[in-house]
Chains A and B, each alone.
Chain A
Amino acid sequence: MKVIKIEKSDLAAGLDKLRGGYRLFGPVKDKTSHGFQELAAGQAPDLAFQNTRLSPKNLVFPQSETLLAYSLDGNDPEGHIAREVDKDYSPRAVIGIRPCDAKALTLVKMNFDTDAFKDPYWLNLYNASTFVGLACDAPGGTCFCTTTGSGPFHEEGLDVLLVDQHDHFLAKVLTDKGEKLMTAAGFNQSADGDAAVEKAKTAAEAAITTAIVTDSLAAADPMALYNADIWEDIAFACINCGTCTFSCPTCWCFDIQDEAQGNKGVRMRNWDSCMFPLFTMHTTGHNPRDTKVKRTRQRFMHKLKYFVDKYNAGIMCVGCGRCVRQCPVNIDIRKVSALMNNVGDAAKCAV
């Protein structure tokens, strides 16, 4: 694997060279926290961050996204025909995405890119993007990526992985897309950095102090988990807000809305949340998930059981810890998973 050395002092100039061919996105600090946004001309990404407050999923899956536009004018020959709206799918580079968040996009891709259905909006943005990851040297106290199938130096979903070496970055070039971007930026100083990267990786993995326990989930009887007596206690504190789902890099659910103004209208999609009663409300008025306990159970069952069973690719969680940090009432997916895992263990013994 090719490793390239990038002096930190050269980074901004290299990124500037990219601007002709790429729109650049990266972490930027507002008053209190970092978030991904498009970098204006001359603006450098602020790479001094642990992770962004919200996940970068909005870069490929905007919270509100217009899909189609239409006219309701009967005299308009185009009237009552919904047309796709013009979008900018030109190449973009996402600089400084954390490995957990890049891995999360690969999990989301399983949903948006199947043999039967391909979501053009998500895929167009995803395929237009080159992901330059930033390895995590100092994981936080709520990071548990190493037990989710990800890790602070995990490469899945990335085109380039940057490893901070104080005065320079070692860039592992992982894909052709990554290679192309490095060439366009003029980064070409080969380095023999494998040992240094391995060393940093081992140190970072050792710095992850917490874990999520999931070993008995795959074998567990889904109905035993569903009917377990753990849910009332887990859900008691839950206020059914959308903080966990909206901050989660792997939550992909959305709602489609039409909004018309006068004769013109658009069809858009907005993030939705299984925590909201409206999420499952039928037009009849019947709501199959009519209590918060059912909704809370759904979220954890989806992430830790249904996804596991459906895709056989581990849990639908990358251990970024955002939901743990941001939940207003401290519902912790690590605790919930441990409780679910116990149920799985007990059910195994019963058989």
Chain B
Amino acid sequence: MKNLLEHMGIEPDRLHFSWISSAESTKFVSVVREITAKVKALGPNERFVKKEAKVA
């Protein structure tokens, strides 16, 4: 799914997957830090967002 979204033009840093055990608090913190930094760098998502229907 990530691959197909990126194929359609969603930025690679927009979607993240991680497997974190409840015992891995430090991994959780570092993954969340990394993700927020990457998503903030991209700015607000404009793609695959439906605003008002653009029709006649």
Contact = CB atoms under 8 A, between A and B. Distances in A.
Interface string A34-67: 0000000000000000000000000000111110
B56 interface: yes
A63 B52 CA distance: 17
Nearest to B52: A261
Given A64-B55, A65-B55, A261-B52, 18 more contacts: A62-B55, A62-B56, A63-B56, A64-B53, A64-B56, A65-B56, A66-B53, A66-B55, A66-B56, A259-B52, A259-B53, A261-B50, A261-B51, A264-B52, A266-B52, A266-B53, A268-B53, A268-B55
Interface of A: 62-66, 259, 261, 264, 266, 268
Interface in B20-56: 50-53, 55-56
A255 to B, nearest CB: 13
Contacts of B50: 261
A266 B55 CA distance: 11
Interface of B: 50-53, 55-56
Nearest to A69: B52
A125 to B, nearest CB: 10
A261 B53 CA distance: 9
Contacts of A261: 50-52
Contacts of B51: 261
A66 B51 CA distance: 15
A66 B53 CA distance: 9
Nearest to B50: A261
A65 B56 CA distance: 5
Contacts of A268: 53, 55
Contacts of A264: 52
Contacts of A259: 52-53
Closest 3 CB pairs of A and B: A64-B55, A62-B56, A65-B56
A229 B18 CA distance: 59
